[in-house]
């Protein structure tokens, strides 16, 4: 939420031994919404931000499905997915995503698109399994580069307070009064709006989303220790800002673009006038452009 908004070896060993790649593939229990036909282009996987679900991507899913297969999913314990059996660490969430890809038959590298805190999850995944990633898109993303700016860390601490407040609102029964207005502002299609409201009015699921948010700040250090997103992975950063010249916007832009600038192949999209969430609806053309560019790169169809 922008301006409102283990050592590496031990982490890698623990996650690799627990990896679904070491076990026979099984159907994933996670809720997933896949659209479009398989093509030679990599499948696109959409990762939501804090308190986000696959419903938030409804309009983006339709647009990206024109060019190939695209899937959005609900993390364990969030949206329509069953409860999580492990913790809310970034490595646990990345391992859940690896299991989901296995269950979907995605043996080749995929394009990962992460919005807000979702960028941290795909950054972690890319650091753990770079061979499974054909490209990265960070949309107003939170990544390990935020650790370098005390101002941004202050914003993330504010976000933790907001997450606690959202869970409290759910606990005292006020969520059904607030959720419809929040979802209306997202401009979701009717079915997606219904699913998002259903999620936002379930206290137990709001607790999971809150706990995920609590794991973001320690997760930044984990992702950094893992090395962050590898520079060989083509990376697109979309920075959506209403007031790009204010101090907070400049700070976010510097951190958000750092990962792209390290990548050998990259593209930075400055979406002036876009809000933190509008690239998922009104301004989704930026997301489509980013994905289409990654799909068009030489070698993007490796493994498909």
The per-residue pLDDT string of the chain (304 residues; one tens digit each, 9 = 90 and over) reads 443 343 333 332 233 333 333 344 555 689 999 999 999 999 999 999 999 999 999 999 999 999 999 999 999 999 999 998 878 899 999 999 999 999 999 999 999 999 999 999 999 999 999 999 999 999 999 999 999 999 999 999 999 999 999 999 999 999 999 999 999 999 999 999 999 999 999 999 999 999 999 999 999 999 999 999 999 999 999 999 898 889 889 999 999 999 899 999 999 999 999 999 999 999 999 999 999 999 999 876 544 4
Does residue 150 lie in a domain region? yes
Does residue 302 lie in a domain region? no
CA–CA dist 34, 70 (Å, integer):
6
CA–CA distance from 237 to each of 49, 119, 284 (Å)? 15, 10, 14
Does residue 143 lie in a domain region? yes
SS3 (DSSP) at 95: helix
Does residue 188 lie in a domain region? yes
Backbone phi, psi, residue 34, to 5°: -110, 140
Does residue 303 lie in a domain region? no
pLDDT of residue 15: 33
Q: Compute the Cα dihedral for 166, 167, 169, 173 and give only its sign.
A: positive
Burial 260-283 (b: 16+ CB within 10 A, else e): beebebbbebebeebbbbbbbbeb
Residue 200 CB neighbour total at 10 angstroms: 24
Task: Give the residues across from 174 on adjacent strands.
Answer: none
CATH number at residue 168: 3.40.50.1820
Does residue 278 lie in a domain region? yes
Can you give the pTM of this predicted structure? 0.89
Does residue 70 lie in a domain region? yes
Using DSSP bridges, classify how beta strands 110-115 and 235-241 pair: parallel, antiparallel or unpaired. unpaired
CA–CA dist 237, 220 (Å, integer):
18
Q: Nearest Cα to 45, choosing from 99, 84, 2, 6? A: 99
Report how many domains make up the chain: 1
CA–CA dist 145, 263 (Å, integer):
13
Does residue 253 lie in a domain region? yes
CA–CA distance from 193 to each of 7, 176, 199, 203, 291 (Å)? 41, 13, 10, 18, 24
Q: Give Cβ neighbours of residue 191 (< 8 Å, ≥ 6 apart).
A: 58
CA–CA dist 200, 180 (Å, integer):
9
Boundaries of domain holding 189:
8-294
């Amino acid at each position: 939420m922008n301006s409102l908004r283990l050592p590496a070896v031990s982490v890698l060993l623990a996650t690799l031994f627990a990896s679904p790649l070491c076990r026979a593939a099984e159907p994933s229990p996670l809720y997933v919404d896949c659209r479009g036909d398989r093509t030679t282009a990599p499948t696109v996987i959409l990762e939501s931000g804090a308190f986000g679900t696959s419903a938030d991507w409804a309009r983006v899913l339709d647009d990206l499905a024109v060019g190939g297969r695209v899937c959005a999913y609900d993390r364990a314990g969030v949206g329509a997915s069953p409860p999580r059996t492990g913790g809310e660490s970034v490595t646990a969430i990345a391992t859940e995503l690896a299991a989901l890809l296995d269950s979907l038959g995605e043996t080749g590298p995929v394009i990962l698109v992460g919005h807000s805190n979702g960028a941290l999850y795909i950054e972690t995944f890319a650091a753990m399994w770079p061979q499974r990633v054909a490209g990265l898109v960070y949309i107003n993303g939170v990544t390990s580069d935020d650790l370098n700016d005390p101002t941004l860390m202050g914003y993330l601490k504010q976000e933790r307070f907001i997450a606690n407040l959202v869970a409290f609102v759910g606990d005292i029964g006020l969520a059904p009064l607030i959720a419809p207005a929040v979802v209306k502002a997202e401009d979701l299609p009717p079915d997606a709006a219904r699913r998002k409201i259903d999620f936002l009015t379930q206290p137990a699921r709001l607790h999971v989303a809150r706990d995920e948010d609590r794991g973001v700040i320690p997760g930044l250090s984990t992702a950094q220790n893992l090395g962050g997103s590898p520079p060989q992975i083509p990376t697109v950063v979309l920075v959506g800002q209403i007031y790009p010249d204010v101090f907070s916007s400049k700070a976010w832009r510097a951190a958000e673009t750092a990962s792209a600038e390290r990548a050998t192949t990259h593209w930075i999209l400055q979406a002036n006038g876009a809000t933190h969430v509008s690239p998922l609806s009104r301004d989704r053309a930026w997301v489509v452009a980013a994905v289409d560019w990654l799909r068009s790169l030489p070698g993007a169809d490796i493994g498909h």
